[in-house]
Amino acid sequence: MVKSPVIISGVVFCSLLIFVPVVPYCDEIDGPFSVTNENPFIALYGLPRHRGAGVLEENVAESRIGFNVNSNYEQDLNGFGDSMMIDGETEVWDFTYLRGLGNGWEAGVSVPLLKHSGGYLDRAIVRWHDWFGMPQGGRDLAQNDQLNYTISVDGADQFSLTKRERGIGDVVVFAGKALSANMTLRSELKLPTGKSERLMGSGGTDVNLSLDYQRRLAEHWNWGGSLSLVYLTDNDIGLINQDILAAISSYLVYRVKPRLALKIQWDLNTRAYKKVDLEPMNNFGAVLSFGGTFKLSDRDRLDLIFMENLPNGEAAPDFGFKMELSRRIQP
């Protein structure tokens, strides 16, 4: 039953591919948010950051600088010696460069810099949840701004991080091939460049394959989505991961003005681990993102994104915020 929301979403996605009329989509501000599940024990793996159905023309390049901060709070104790505490904040700086190669191909590389700490958002998130009537999940009873990323299995700690850490994460190289004006096949290779003992990476090499799709629904409306499979190798953090993850993303775009698009996006992934009898590890991950893309100039655009772990609040960060600045570089 864990995978059922992902399966249902996949059926809806495929139905839209079939029944929504094909109209070539607009420009780059109508694409998806470049987000993923930033739970510190899931972001280790090669879940894709979606790039949309468009590819760069030959010799056109794009650079992106993204910053996101994610506040995590989940705890569970099953009574059989398994327990977990995920309490802390993770900040990620992403530096991405991609280039059009011609004949519908593009390729690029992404380098993340991570910091795990106690952070500073706990009080603000408690108030945010109060304002909107969202459950606190025990956050309001915990010590503010502490770092404790610990998972125990059969009474023994498998992984524990309680001191601030920062460093380079797992570098990703990627490529995409446009299959049509509305569809692109993409693949990413995640390399084990981050230190697993500091929760900067999994210690393994992962590869994913994604099909990205986008259509114009009406004059101001665009819809798109992505289906992905991620092939995982063994990690170095002491837990047994799945061999394959499935992920799906769907987003809706409303073009308010020629230079402003408002968006809502939903990302789902199947469970990352096995033989861990803890609810957050046995459940699917879900991230709801909302915000906008602002076209600052003919070359520059800015994404501002808020993220919540809805509808499932256990296998994704409690709250997140991201901003990303992108620049097109013409030959």
Between 135 and 71, whose confidence is greater? 71
**Residues 6+ away with beta carbon under 8 Å from 191:** 170, 171, 172, 173, 205
Which helix (H) or strand (E) covers residue 130, if one does?
helix 122-132
Q: Which of 25-29, 67-71, 228-232, 241-245 has the lowest mean pLDDT?
A: 25-29
Query: By CB neighbour count within 10 A (0-12 exposed, 13-18 middle, 19+ buried), where does 315 fall?
Result: buried
CA 318 to CA 305: how far, in whole Å? Answer: 14
The pLDDT, as a whole number, for residue 7 is 56
Percent of the chain with pLDDT over 70: 89
Residue 181 in this model has a pLDDT that exceeds 70: yes
* 100 has pLDDT over 70: yes
* pTM as predicted: 0.87
Helix, strand, coil percentages, rounded to 5, for the chain: 10, 50, 40
> Quick one: tokens of 267?
């990302």
Name the CATH superfamily for 4-329.
monomeric porin ompg (2.40.160.40)
Q: Does the pLDDT at position 86 exceed 60?
A: yes
Q: Which range (52-61, 152-161, 211-220, 294-303) has the least confidence?
A: 152-161
Residues in the chain: 331
pLDDT tens digits, one per residue of 247-271: 999 999 999 999 999 999 999 999 9
Lowest mean pLDDT among 3-17, 19-33, 84-98, 109-123: 3-17
Identify the bridge partners of residue 285 per DSSP, sorted by sequence position: 269
